[in-house]
Amino acid sequence: MTVLSRPADTGPVLRADSVDFVRDGRHLLREISLTVHPGEHWALLGANGAGKSTLLGLLGAVTHPSRGSVEVLGRTMGRVDVRELRSYLGHINPRHTPDGPLRVRDVVLTGLTNTAAVVPRWTPAEQEAERADGLIAMLGMSHRADATWPTLSQGERGRALIARALMPQPRLLLLDEPATGLDLAAREQLLASIDALRARHPSLATVLVTHHLEELPATTTHAMLLRGGLCLASGPVSEVLTSDLVSTCFDHPVRLIRSDDGRWAARAQPVPVTMPGDEADALVSAAS
């Protein structure tokens, strides 16, 4: 293994080339290719079991492909120390649980050590502590900086985890269903925070996994639709997020709506119900 220096801020952030992922003889992903450049904000969409989280694991240097190649920050998986590589990524998992009732500020600082608890006898530098406070403020959590994890709402935890993921100043931020378990107000606060983050850091690239179009931030630039481990469509959102393609992806007829503020919604198309002629005639007679 090579010792990893900090990746240069040039070139694609992610590149997957003809990737397969096989587990227990079953293809979870097949022939997936994806290139993410700085400043792009991708959404991975698909039904449960489509392969979204599996692909995110490959992109986040958590797992290796069975076939094909994955480059993260210019480094090819299988040729670098993945533990060190992960230190340059921001990976947000809403199911992350700190080790103990840590304060928000302490949880954010563990983003530097990539641990679930504060490392014994470790003290952040003054600049690092200021950065943590700045991120907490940017995400609207200053009034809760000293609150302990068990007292936080699910939405507050989500924003604290974004701040934690940003501590290493990553070029890439991975969000695995960040709105899971949030009520309407908390979801909207979280998505507004993601939009503000993207505006403040224009070179940051993000990949967000969801199966709800309503959970896509307005700043989303690209999308990939996954179905049964295969890529159905990939590219700019204006080309991928169409009623026909999304209906095929989820195997259900839907009509997509994009509002003036750039957010998406999906409405189910009416499905005609057919029945034998005699039954239909009987219902008509009964109604009349």
State the Cα–Cα distance between residues 87 and 277, nearest whole angstrom: 65
What pLDDT, on a 0 to 100 scale, did the predictor assign at position 3? Answer: 43
User: Which residues touch 211 (CB under 8 Å, ≥6 apart)?
Assistant: 45, 46, 47, 48, 50, 52, 177
**Per-residue pLDDT tens digits for 41-61:** 999 999 998 999 999 989 988
- Same domain for 117 and 134? yes
Instruction: Pick out the chain residues at pLDDT < 70.
Output: 1-10, 80, 82, 271-288
- Same domain for 51 and 80? yes
As given in the structure block, the two tokens for residue 203 are 């070179």
- Same domain for 84 and 174? yes
Number of domains forming the structure of the chain: 2
- Same domain for 102 and 160? yes
Q: What is the CATH number of the domain that holds 32?
A: 3.40.50.300
User: Which residues touch 263 (CB under 8 Å, ≥6 apart)?
Assistant: 214, 216, 218
Q: Is the dihedral of CA 4, 7, 225, 91 positive or negative?
A: positive
What pLDDT, on a 0 to 100 scale, did the predictor assign at position 4? Answer: 47
User: For residue 11, is it within any domain?
Assistant: yes
Q: Where are the alpha helices (DSSP H) in the chain?
A: 52-59, 82-86, 104-113, 126-138, 154-166, 184-200, 237-240, 243-250, 277-287
The domain of 18 spans: 1-88+170-235
- Same domain for 154 and 176? no
What pLDDT, on a 0 to 100 scale, did the predictor assign at position 251? Answer: 93
